[in-house]
Amino acid sequence: MKKNVPEINGILRSNMIKVPECIREASGIIVLGKRIKSLIFSTDVALIRNTNADAILAVYPFTPQPVITAAIMTGTDKPVFCGVGGGLTTGKRVVNLALDAEFKGAYGVVLNNPTPNQVLSRVRKTVDIPVVVTVVSETEDIQARIDAGASILNVSAGKRTAHVVREIRKSFPDFPILATGGSSDESIRETIEAGANAITVTPPTSADIFTEMMIRYRRVYEEKGVLEEILEDEK
């Protein structure tokens, strides 16, 4: 029988970014005692503060900087998985960034796909939080990644994500996997059924949200203006 779950919202924070309800069908991954099913892919502190996602995936296409990590950690009350490089940024700097992220309170660190296994191994030996490794193809040597110290696989293969997850699950039925779910409930469910334990969601940008808000505001004023004209005519 479906349980009744009471929901309480504030007035000022009711306009939040909600992840698709179907993500609740995932098993989740228990990280440091917290079950995580949904992650929002963002470094925008305003978005991060106004979402019901279970956790934050703070990965960005620039050289990772401790000041960015500090800003995100200060601005959220949710578990954060921080990107620490692995592509352009590699070697000892990745290890140092990972340790800094742990000291700042991150729940995990995320290494980009090109990260050499030697660097992954050094990060694993240095930090005491999960090490998430991004996977973009089923042809990658997943066993080598696990042997080097990967704690969680982050599958990000675009439209092929569900397929890649399914292929990985054939050889690794119990290993933790989070994956991008796409923009529809159907694609999210397909990814979950393929074997993903948690789903990453890309939220709309602040500009997109503002556009929708301004359309509503203008409509209200337009309707108000029409009403005033009708009342004026009736006088």
pLDDT along the chain (235 residues), means of 10: 73 79 96 95 93 95 92 94 85 94 96 93 96 95 97 96 96 96 92 97 86 78 60 56
CA distance 59 to 61: 7
Looking at the structure, do residues 209 and 120 belong to the same domain, yes or no? no
Looking at the structure, do residues 65 and 87 belong to the same domain, yes or no? yes
CA distance 84 to 96: 9
Sorted by sequence, the CB contacts under 8 Å of residue 144 that are 6+ apart come out as: 117
Question: In the prediction, which pLDDT does 209 show?
Answer: 82
**CATH number of the domain that residue 40 is part of:** 3.20.20.70
Looking at the structure, do residues 154 and 229 belong to the same domain, yes or no? no
Question: In the prediction, which pLDDT does 145 show?
Answer: 97
Question: In the prediction, which pLDDT does 234 show?
Answer: 54
Residue-number span of the structural domain to which 29 is assigned: 21-203
For residue 22, the SS3 value is helix
Q: Is the pTM of this model over 0.75?
A: yes
Q: Is residue 214 part of a domain?
A: yes
CA distance 145 to 148: 5
Amino acid sitting at position 166: R
Phi/psi for 59 (5° steps) reads: -120, 135
Looking at the structure, do residues 214 and 188 belong to the same domain, yes or no? no
Question: In the prediction, which pLDDT does 100 show?
Answer: 97
Q: Is residue 190 part of a domain?
A: yes
In total, how many domains does the chain have?
Answer: 2
Looking at the structure, do residues 85 and 59 belong to the same domain, yes or no? yes
Helix axes 92-103, 66-74, angle to 10 degrees: 20
In 36-184, which ranges are continuous DSSP H helix? 45-48, 66-74, 92-103, 117-126, 142-148, 161-171
Supply the Cα-derived Rg of the chain in whole angstroms: 21
